[in-house]
Chains A and B, each alone.
Chain A
Amino acid sequence: ETGVTQTPRHLVMGMTNKKSLKCEQHLGHNAMYWYKQSAKKPLELMFVYNFKEQTENNSVPSRFSPECPNSSHLFLHLHTLQPEDSALYLCASSQDPAPQETQYFGPGTRLLVL
């Protein structure tokens, strides 16, 4: 498989549930990102990892917990979410976090919190 994959593609969860989103990139990149896209809002950067180390946390609530066990995999652990967290969650990767590096996006996980 090539590119950036994300699972699951769709997720419905209650506010008391715990779930995880998974992202995998097969591009040999060193930087990985989580973005959130709410309806009618721009993509918002959540987290940046470079060589497995978190380099950016964009004031994200602690109910979102990222994990990057290696340069190819990125997880987003979810617990006690709120309905307003319902959104499209996109993972991306790039060779490194430099501005001129193109980010390659996965197809996203559509999350609905009830």
Chain B
Amino acid sequence: DQQVKQNSPSLSVQEGRISILNCDYTNSMFDYFLWYKKYPAEGPTFLISISSIKDKNEDGRFTVFLNKSAKHLSLHIVPSQPGDSAVYFCAARGSLNTGNQFYFGTGTSLTVIP
């Protein structure tokens, strides 16, 4: 059973507007979360992370929000740019009792329309 879920396979947003990508997880032991971005024919590249001691982390146009009670995180991109068009993966991991691995979602394909 998938422990990290991205229920929206795709998202289209107008350039300049906000993109919101969502991710849900089931394992309450997860305490570290990341977002990766993947362009076609390239490997995923790290975008931004957040640990469970925070509820928000911001890096330029990218902000990740964590709602531990809802087991939900989201990535906000504002303003969205055409170069942001890519597949975005969220991943989660626990420091204890969850094994030595990240659990990934299936990805959300973001298209930013010029």
List the interface of chain A (C-beta within 8 A of B). Answer: 4, 6, 9, 40-45, 48, 55-56, 58, 90, 92, 97, 99-100, 102-108
Contact = CB atoms under 8 A, between A and B. Distances in A.
A99 B32 contact: yes
B43 A56 contact: no
Interface residues of B, number: 28
A43 B43 contact: no
Interface of B: 2, 4, 31-32, 34, 36, 41-46, 49, 51, 89, 91, 93-95, 99-107
Contacts of B36: 105
Given A55-B100, A97-B100, A99-B32, A90 B2 contact: no
7 contacts: A42-B4, A42-B106, A90-B44, A99-B94, A100-B32, A103-B46, A107-B43
Nearest to A98: B95
Contacts of B51: 100
A45 B46 contact: no
B49 A48 contact: no
B45 A105 contact: yes
A55 B106 CA distance: 25
A24 to B, nearest CB: 13
Contact of B103 (A4, A9, A42): A42
Given A42-B104, A43-B104, A58-B101, A104 B46 contact: yes
Contact of B46 (A48, A97, A102, A108): A102
